[in-house]
Amino acid sequence: MHAFFSHRKLWLALSMAALVMPLNSLTAQDAKTKVARLGIIGLDTSHVKAFTGLFNDPKQSSGLGDMRVVVAFPGGSPDIESSHSRVAGFVEDVKKLDVKIVDSVKDVVAQSDAVLLESVDGRPHLEQALPVLRSGKPLFIDKPLAGSLADAIAIDMLAKKYNARWFSSSSLRFSPSIYRWRTDDALRTSIRGASAWSPCSLEKSHPDLFWYGVHGVEVLYTVMGEGCQTVTRAGTPGTDLVVGVWDGGRIGTFRGIRDGKSDYGVVVYGEKSIELTGKYEGYKPLVEQIAKFFAGGAAPVSNQETLEMFAFMEAAQQSKDQGGIPIKIADVMAQATEKAKQRVATLDK
Confidence of residue 34 (pLDDT cuts 50, 70, 90): low
According to CATH, the superfamily of the domain at 32-170 is NAD(P)-binding Rossmann-like Domain (3.40.50.720)
Pairing of strands 191-199, 166-169: unpaired
**pLDDT tens per residue across span 60-101:** 765 676 899 999 999 999 999 999 999 999 999 999 999 999
Domain residue extents for the chain: 32-170, 173-347
Mean pLDDT value of segment 252-263: 88
The residues that bridge with 276 in the sheet, in sequence order, are 267
**pLDDT tens per residue across span 140-190:** 999 999 999 999 999 999 999 999 999 999 999 999 999 999 999 888 889
Q: Determine whether domain 173-347 maps to CATH 3.30.360.10.
A: yes
Comparing C-alpha atoms, which of 141, 118, 170 is closest to residue 278? 170
- What residue ranges in the chain does DSSP mark as E strands? 36-41, 67-73, 100-101, 114-117, 139-142, 166-169, 191-199, 228-236, 239-246, 251-257, 265-270, 274-277, 327-328
| CA 169-151-301 angle, 5° bins | 25
Cis peptide leading into residue 285 (ω within 30°): no
**pLDDT tens per residue across span 123-153:** 999 999 999 999 999 999 999 999 999 999 9
